[in-house]
Amino acid sequence: MSAAILSIACGMCLLSSCTDDNKQTVSPTDDSSQFVTLTTAVPDAILEIRYFGTYNFVGSRIDGYLEPTALLTRVAADSLRAVSDDVKRLGYRLKIYDAYRPQCAVDHFVRWAADTADTLMKDYFYPDLDKSVLFDQEYIMEKSGHTRGSTIDLTLCDMASEKELDMGGTFDWFGPESHPDFCGNPDTGEYTGDNSKSPAQRSITPEQFEHRMILRAAMMRHGFKPLSSEWWHFTLANEPFPDTYFTFHVKQLN
């Protein structure tokens, strides 16, 4: 593991499309008063809101994304600001793919997954899977942690080259190649090269695995917990609304 990773990991204080645990819900609410526009709290963040555009696994704009912006609960945004300050010292900036996701967007994903004839983006995001397995393998679920407002999908950009770090796979790739333990041990940062879970024998390089670990270590240091199936997905461990699924649409907050 590089010195950069070790310097972050030693301070760690600390788990779709991005979906996670299906918790007990309370009544849905459209109250956005405890949310902030992410770039207000983290002005250095770069936004590439995939669900506002068409380059995503559905292939169209997703319901509820009215503007290409990102929202988070205030406490999650404050923690993400600490991550941003941390990685900037290493020469990186955060790039955000998705943050808060309204329930209507999750419902859109569910409708899309049920339409097994719609495989427009299969070659880009799930070439090794038959679409009929997306529910059974929990790539698509009826609830998402994103809807609770303290989950973020992101990557790192190199400030010198102004390019994304090569993570060895795209955001929202449906397959074991997206798992943090693909070709390595995320607990130790050791690259193993074990690609036995890849149905097409794909692999990632030591450098690509290291890039994933830099992001993971920085997020965990500042209170975010990772997901075992997606290297880009993190949830604030002490999220303020663990049982609440919000319904307001994604747009700039006043």
b/e burial code for range 52-71 (CB count within 10 A of at least 16 → b): beeebbbbebbbbbeebbbb
Which position has the token pair 């692999």? 203
| Active centre residues (catalytic) | 230
Share of the chain above pLDDT 70, in %: 89
| All structural domains of the chain with their residue ranges | 3-236
Residue 11 has pLDDT above 50, yes or no: no
Q: Could you tell me if 138 and 132 are in contact, meaning their C-beta atoms sit under 8 angstroms apart? A: no
State the Cα–Cα distance between residues 40 and 155, nearest whole angstrom: 19
Q: Which fold has domain 3-236?
A: Muramoyl-pentapeptide Carboxypeptidase; domain 2 (3.30.1380)
The predicted-structure confidence for 16-51, as pLDDT tens digits, reads as follows: 444 444 444 456 899 999 999 999 999 999 999 999
Among 22-26, 175-179, 208-212, which stretch is predicted with the lowest mean pLDDT?
Answer: 22-26
CB within 8 A of 233, min separation 6: which ones? 16, 18, 20, 151, 152, 153, 226, 227
Q: Which comes out higher in pLDDT, residue 231 or 13?
A: 231
Residue 179 has pLDDT above 90, yes or no: yes
Instruction: Report the 10 Å Cβ neighbour count for 191.
Output: 18
Beta strands in the chain (DSSP E): 35-37, 46-47, 71-73, 92-98, 151-158, 163-164, 184-185, 190-191, 224-227, 230-236
Predicted pLDDT of residue 28: 83
Average pLDDT for the chain = 91
What is the pTM for the complete model shown? 0.90
